[in-house]
C-alpha cells in the first residue's frame, strides 16, 4: 500500500493508538485518530483522588504483554505500579483459603491433589492436542486451523492445521468437562469471571484460553503481575504524546460513507476524506446506552454483510463503583469472593480492589456482572445496591461512592456463531469496503490482545 495512504482510525483506546504506533513504525504517517471523549485510553481510565490515580478500568498486565511492552519501549516508560496482592472471602464475609498453599495442606487435602493433577494434564493438552490455541485473534479456529503469531518474546509466525481447535467454540465449562479437567475452572475463574468476562457455561473456550493461555494464567496464580503507578491510562496518554499525530479528542462522528474507493467521514459537522478506515470503536451495540455510545452500523453506510454479522455481537454489563471508607472499615488487602462468581449470584460483588498498601486514604473499587445469556438483565441501580449491601456483609462498608460506570465490556459472539465461522467471515471482509475492523471483538477484551491485534492488522494489510 502507498505510504501516503490517508488512514482514519476510530477510537483512541489501546487498539486505536497502537494501530497508529504500528502504522508509524511501518512508515505510514498520514493517519488520523478520532476519539469521541475528552481523553484517550478508552477502558483504561485512571482518575485522580487526592493526587493519586485509581483505576476505574484496566488494572494490570502480565510479563507476556508483548504489545504493551512495545508501547512502553516506544514511550520510554515501564510498569512501575504497586505490587498486587489479594485474599479470599466467602459470601458471608469470612476470610477463607480456597487453595491449600503449603505442601502439608496439599497432602491433607485430596481435592487439592486432584486439582493439581488436572492442572498438569490441562497444561499438557494445551501444548499437544490444542497446539496453536493461543495465537492472537481467531482466524481459522472454527475450521481447525491456527494462523498468527506465537505468544513468545519473538512472536514468531505460526500456522498449521489442527482439527481439535474446533473444540474452542464450546463453552469453557463443556470444553473442560470434555477433556476430563473440570476442576481447572476453579483456577481460571478468578481472572476471568470476576474480571467481567462472563460465565464459563456461556463463553466459548477460545476467548478464555486466548487471554488466559496457560502461561498467563500461571502468572495470575503466582501474582506475577504488572501495574502502573500513574494508572493504565498513563500508558496510552504517553503513547498519544509520542505519536506524530495524537488523537483528536471530542470528535463526534456523525456519518461515514464509503464510495468510489474513498471514505468520507463527517466529524463535528465537517466532511473529511480518507482512503482507508480502521474501526476500533464498538461494531454493534444491541441496546440504547446511557453513555451515548453507538455501534458502527448505526453511523456508517453499513452494508448487509456488516449488519448481519455484527448483529451477532453481545457484550457484558460490567459495573464498577469507586468508594471511600472510614479508616476502621478500610480493607487491608483486595478480596475475591468466589461464591459470587456463578450465574446464580448475578449482580453480587465478585471482587474489590485496594490499590495502595500504605494508606487508608484511598479509593476502593468494586466489580459486578449483571447479565447472563440465559437470565434477565439486572437493572443498574439494583445491582449497585446489591454490591453496597455485600460490602457491609464483607465488613468493609462504603462511606461514599465517588465514581461509577457500567461499561460496554468484552464484546464477543456465542458458541453457535463462533462454530459457524463468524471470525473467518469477518476476517474475509477486512479491507472489502476500504474498512478494517480491530479492537476487542476481533481478539479479546484486554489491553494486550487488542494492541497485538492492531499490530497484526497493520502487518497483514498495510
Ligand X SMILES: Cc1cc2nc3c(=O)[nH]c(=O)nc-3n(C[C@H](O)[C@H](O)[C@H](O)COP(=O)(O)OP(=O)(O)OC[C@H]3O[C@@H](n4cnc5c(N)ncnc54)[C@H](O)[C@@H]3O)c2cc1C
Residues contacting ligand X: total by CB under 6 A: 35
Among 71, 368, 447, 458, binds ligand X (CB under 6 A): 447
Q: Which of residues 351-380 bind ligand X (CB under 6 A)?
A: none
For every residue of 62-115, DSSP letters joined together read -TT-HHHHHHHHHHT-----PPP-EEEE-TTS-EE--S--SHHHHHH-HHHHHH
The contact pattern for ligand X, residues 85-124, with x = CB under 6 A and - = no contact, is ----------------------------------------
**How far is Cα 350 from Cα 320, in angstroms, rounded to an integer?**
11
Phi/psi for 29 (5° steps) reads -110, -5
Q: By CB under 6 A, tell whether 36 contacts ligand X.
A: yes
Q: What are the grid coordinates assigned to 163, written together?
A: 482439527
Nearest residue (CB) to ligand X, 37 versus 362: 37
Q: By CB under 6 A, tell whether 450 contacts ligand X.
A: yes
Q: What is the bridge-based pairing of β-strands 86-89 and 95-96?
A: antiparallel
The contact pattern for ligand X, residues 314-343, with x = CB under 6 A and - = no contact, is ------x-----------------------
Name the residue among 443, 459, 197 with its Cα closest to residue 451: 443
**How far is Cα 91 from Cα 95, in angstroms, rounded to an integer?**
10
For every residue of 410-449, DSSP letters joined together read EEE--HHHHHTTHHHHHHHHTTTTSEEE-SGGGS-SSHHH
Contact stretch for ligand X (CB under 6 A) within 93-101, 351-359, 381-389, 446-454:
446-454
Instruction: Residue 455: count other Cβ atoms within 10 Å of its Cβ.
Output: 21
CB 57 within 8 A of CB 408: no
Q: By CB under 6 A, tell whether 383 contacts ligand X.
A: no
CB 137 within 8 A of CB 149: no
| DSSP letter, residue 442 | G
CB of 415 to ligand X, least distance (A): 21
Nearest residue (CB) to ligand X, 251 versus 396: 251
Question: Which 3 state secondary structure label does DSSP give 145?
Answer: strand
Contact stretch for ligand X (CB under 6 A) within 35-43, 148-156, 164-172, 270-278:
35-43
Contact stretch for ligand X (CB under 6 A) within 29-37, 150-158, 159-167, 173-181:
29-37
**How far is Cα 143 from Cα 208, in angstroms, rounded to an integer?**
19
CB 78 within 8 A of CB 245: no
Q: By CB under 6 A, tell whether 14 contacts ligand X.
A: yes
Nearest residue (CB) to ligand X, 179 versus 409: 409
Among 77, 181, 206, 281, binds ligand X (CB under 6 A): 281
The contact pattern for ligand X, residues 237-276, with x = CB under 6 A and - = no contact, is --------------x-x-----------------------
Task: Report the interface residues with ligand X, using CB under 6 A.
Answer: 10-16, 34-37, 42-44, 57-61, 195, 251, 253, 280-281, 293, 320, 407, 409, 439-440, 445-448, 450
Amino acid at each position: 500500500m502507498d505510504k501516503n495512504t490517508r488512514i482514519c482510525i476510530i477510537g483512541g483506546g489501546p487498539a486505536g493508538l497502537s494501530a497508529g504506533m504500528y502504522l508509524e513504525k511501518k512508515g505510514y504517517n498520514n493517519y488520523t485518530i478520532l476519539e469521541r471523549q475528552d481523553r484517550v485510553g478508552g477502558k483504561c481510565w485512571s482518575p485522580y483522588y487526592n493526587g493519586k490515580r485509581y483505576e476505574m478500568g484496566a488494572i494490570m498486565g502480565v510479563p507476556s504483554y508483548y504489545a504493551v511492552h512495545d508501547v512502553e519501549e516506544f514511550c520510554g516508560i515501564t510498569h512501575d505500579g504497586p505490587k498486587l496482592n489479594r485474599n479470599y472471602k466467602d459470601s458471608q464475609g469470612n476470610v477463607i483459603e480456597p487453595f491449600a498453599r503449603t505442601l502439608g495442606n496439599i497432602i491433607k487435602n485430596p481435592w487439592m491433589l486432584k486439582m493439581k493433577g488436572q492442572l498438569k494434564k490441562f497444561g499438557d493438552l494445551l501444548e499437544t492436542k490444542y497446539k496453536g490455541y493461543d495465537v492472537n485473534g481467531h482466524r481459522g479456529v472454527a475450521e481447525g486451523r491456527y494462523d498468527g503469531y506465537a505468544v513468545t518474546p519473538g512472536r514468531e509466525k505460526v500456522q498449521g492445521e489442527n482439527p481439535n481447535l474446533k473444540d474452542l467454540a464450546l463453552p469453557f465449562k463443556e470444553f473442560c468437562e470434555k477433556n476430563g479437567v473440570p476442576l481447572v475452572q476453579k483456577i481460571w475463574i478468578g481472572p476471568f469471571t470476576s474480571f467481567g468476562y462472563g460465565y464459563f457455561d456461556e463463553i466459548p473456550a477460545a476467548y478464555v484460553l486466548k487471554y488466559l493461555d496457560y502461561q498467563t494464567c500461571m502468572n495470575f496464580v503466582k501474582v506475577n503481575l504488572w501495574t502502573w503507578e500513574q494508572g493504565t491510562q498513563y500508558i496510552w496518554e504517553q503513547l498519544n504524546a509520542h505519536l506524530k499525530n495524537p488523537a483528536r479528542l471530542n470528535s463526534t462522528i456523525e456519518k461515514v460513507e464509503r464510495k468510489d474507493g474513498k471514505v468520507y467521514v463527517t466529524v463535528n459537522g465537517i466532511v473529511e476524506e480518507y482512503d482507508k478506515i480502521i474501526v476500533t470503536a464498538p461494531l454493534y451495540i444491541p441496546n440504547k446506552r446511557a453513555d451515548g455510545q453507538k455501534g458502527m452500523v448505526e453511523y456508517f453506510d453499513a452494508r448487509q454483510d456488516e449488519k448481519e454479522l455484527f448483529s451477532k455481537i453481545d457484550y457484558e454489563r460490567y459495573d464498577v463503583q469507586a468508594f471511600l471508607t472510614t479508616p476502621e472499615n478500610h480493607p487491608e488487602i483486595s478480596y475475591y469472593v468466589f461464591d459470587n462468581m456463578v450465574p446464580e449470584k448475578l449482580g453480587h460483588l465478585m471482587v474489590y480492589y485496594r490499590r495502595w498498601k500504605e494508606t487508608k486514604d484511598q479509593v476502593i473499587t468494586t466489580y459486578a456482572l449483571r447479565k447472563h445469556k440465559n437470565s434477565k438483565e439486572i437493572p443498574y441501580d439494583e445491582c449497585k445496591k446489591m454490591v453496597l449491601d455485600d460490602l457491609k456483609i464483607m465488613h468493609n462498608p462504603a462511606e461514599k461512592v465517588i465514581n461509577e460506570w457500567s461499561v460496554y465490556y468484552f464484546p464477543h459472539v456465542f458458541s453457535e456463531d463462533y462454530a459457524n465461522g463468524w471470525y473467518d467471515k469477518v476476517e474475509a471482509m477486512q479491507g472489502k469496503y476500504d474498512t478494517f475492523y480491530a479492537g476487542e471483538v476481533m481478539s479479546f477484551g484486554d489491553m494486550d490482545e487488542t494492541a497485538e491485534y492492531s499490530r497484526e492488522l497493520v502487518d497483514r494489510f498495510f
